[in-house]
Amino acid sequence: MVFITAEIGINHNGDLEIAKKLIDVAKNAGCDAVKFQKRTIDKVYTKEVLESPRDSPWGTTTRHQKEGLEFGEKEYSSIEQYCKERKIEWFASSWDIDSQLFLRKFSLNYNKVASAMLTNHELLNTIAEERKHTFISTGMSEIGQIKSAVDIFKKNNCPYELQHSNSSYPMKIEEANLRCIETLRNEFNCNVGYSGHEALGYLICVCAVMFGATSIERHITLDRTMYGSDQAASLEPQGLERLVRDIRRIDNILGDGVKRVWPSEIPVMKKLRNL
């Protein structure tokens, strides 16, 4: 069965109650997990970037904006407890080593390598040494770069799954290139999923499953008009419900590939083949 992750990311806008509402949306839709993003602001961004002007609900600099979007131990402890109550998995993509070490405080069954971090080998080693099933997004990457990342997970005997992705927000549909799912599967002989950033509904995700994607990750939001750079490339609750519904239908539609005469066909066969 396809593993479906609803990426909350930073679409909670620094509000724990919004995060919980998004967890409810994912659970009610039938998702397997929700995902967040964790950063140590001063490690990920330069001082120059953080001091640059940027208007946001939290202030007038990029630092104000980035700090406003970041959850700490108190918030993630509440998220872990709430996910246990709702019976849904949660995990997060770390954007620096300190963030990955921070995530070890929680009972997570999965890790995630964001496309932006695929070439950060020091971080990848830190993730892989945990030997948790890891989803590795491959946006902005060539085959050689992906191989270097995969080698790290192989060396650490860490289970992994690649995810085909395009890192533009929102992605143009002509750049989806879903045949890369087969390319990656053949090249690395592993499961390959799809992490989508398109603005166009959920059709591409459904097509990805038809191409054999073993996991789907899609950003979600309460309202696409909310503040935030990821909101426009996210699914609202109704869209997420339809996405999960149609992916689960595909599991039944594709079947097992064994050609057989179904019991429902026998009466028709007896009637029509005697004509």
In 3D space, the residue among 19, 132, 13, 36 whose CA is nearest the CA of residue 82 turns out to be 19
Burial class (CB in 10 A: 0-12, 13-18, 19+), 38: buried
Domain ranges of the chain: 3-272
* pLDDT at residue number 47: 96
* pLDDT at residue number 202: 92
* pLDDT at residue number 275: 65
Q: How far apart are CA 5 and CA 26, in angstroms?
A: 8
In 3D space, the residue among 25, 22, 3, 1 whose CA is nearest the CA of residue 195 turns out to be 3
> In 129-236, which residue ranges form alpha helices assigned H by DSSP?
143-155, 180-188, 203-210
pTM for the model = 0.95
Give me the tens of pLDDT residue by residue for the chain, a chain 275 residues long: 999 999 999 999 999 999 999 999 999 999 999 999 999 999 999 999 999 999 999 999 999 999 999 999 999 999 999 999 999 999 999 999 999 999 999 999 999 999 999 999 999 999 999 999 999 999 999 999 999 999 999 999 999 999 999 999 889 999 999 999 999 999 999 999 999 999 878 999 999 999 999 999 999 999 999 999 899 889 999 999 999 999 999 988 988 999 999 999 999 999 998 76
> In 133-223, which residue ranges form alpha helices assigned H by DSSP?
143-155, 180-188, 203-210
Name the 3-class secondary structure at 273.
coil
- What sign has the CA pseudo-torsion 199, 200, 206, 207? negative
CATH number of 3-272: 3.20.20.70
**How many Cβ atoms from other residues are within 10 Å of residue 107's Cβ?**
9
